[in-house]
């Protein structure tokens, strides 16, 4: 299982009305990463049998192998290095170009900003949708229960201290 950046990401990973994802294994971790472990990875129906079958596939060794793959391939430092390399290549390509068309560059910049706005709007909507998802409603109800809520909070604190955030 992935080391989730936050408790909400871990809750989201459990599934939603959209479906249930496969158990993360060394065989599918790369494909799931390509899908950003998002909604497109939730391919199975939400049924007790489906969830039980995925849980039955759990293997500590295979889970550790999948975690190793993530730590090796999905580190922020590696992504930053790739972005810096891409920027350096683009800057060098620009330096070597014989002509500069300011109008074309401005149109390209405007298109980039338009796409960035669309992306941020979609992310905001995804956050709103997640906040209203059945997973979060269940979370809010469980945490609000007098006997269960405090124990769940303690369990979450223990898990964060034991396995990190």
38, 56, 63, 157 from 68: Cα distances, Å = 20, 21, 9, 24
The ranges assigned to domains in the chain are: 1-75
Q: Which two tokens stand for residue 59?
A: 């293997």
Q: What's the pLDDT at 10?
A: 44
Residue 57 CA to residue 51 CA, distance in Å, equals 10
Average pLDDT over residues 1-11: 42
CB 13 within 8 A of CB 21: yes
Q: What is the reported pTM?
A: 0.41
Residue 117 CA to residue 102 CA, distance in Å, equals 22
CA gap 136, 52 in Å, rounded: 21
Find the length of the chain.
Answer: 165
Residue 146 and residue 157: Cα distance in Å, rounded? 18
pLDDT in tens, 51-90: 888 888 888 899 899 988 888 887 777 778 888 999 999 9
What are the φ and ψ backbone dihedral angles of 20, each rounded to 5 degrees?
Answer: -125, 140
Of the pLDDT bands very low, low, confident and very high (cuts 50, 70, 90), residue 17 is low
- Residue 10 and residue 4 in contact, taking contact as beta carbons nearer than 8 Å: yes
Residue 6 has pLDDT above 70, yes or no: no
């Amino acid at each position: 299982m992935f080391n989730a950046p936050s408790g909400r990401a871990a809750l989201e990973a459990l599934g939603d009305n959209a479906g249930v994802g496969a158990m993360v294994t060394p065989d599918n971790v790369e494909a799931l990463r390509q899908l950003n472990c998002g909604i497109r990875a939730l391919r199975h129906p939400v049924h007790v049998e489906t969830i039980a079958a995925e849980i039955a596939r759990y293997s500590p060794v295979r889970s550790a192998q999948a975690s190793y793959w993530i730590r090796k391939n999905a580190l922020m430092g590696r992504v930053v290095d790739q972005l810096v390399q891409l920027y350096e290549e683009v800057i060098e390509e620009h330096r070597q170009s014989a002509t500069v068309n300011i109008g074309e560059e401005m149109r390209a910049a405007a298109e980039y900003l338009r796409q960035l706005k669309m992306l941020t709007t979609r992310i905001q909507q995804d956050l709103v949708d997640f906040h209203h998802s059945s997973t979060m409603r269940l979370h809010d109800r469980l945490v609000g229960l007098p006997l269960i809520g405090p124990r769940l909070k303690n369990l979450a604190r223990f898990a964060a201290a034991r396995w990190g955030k």
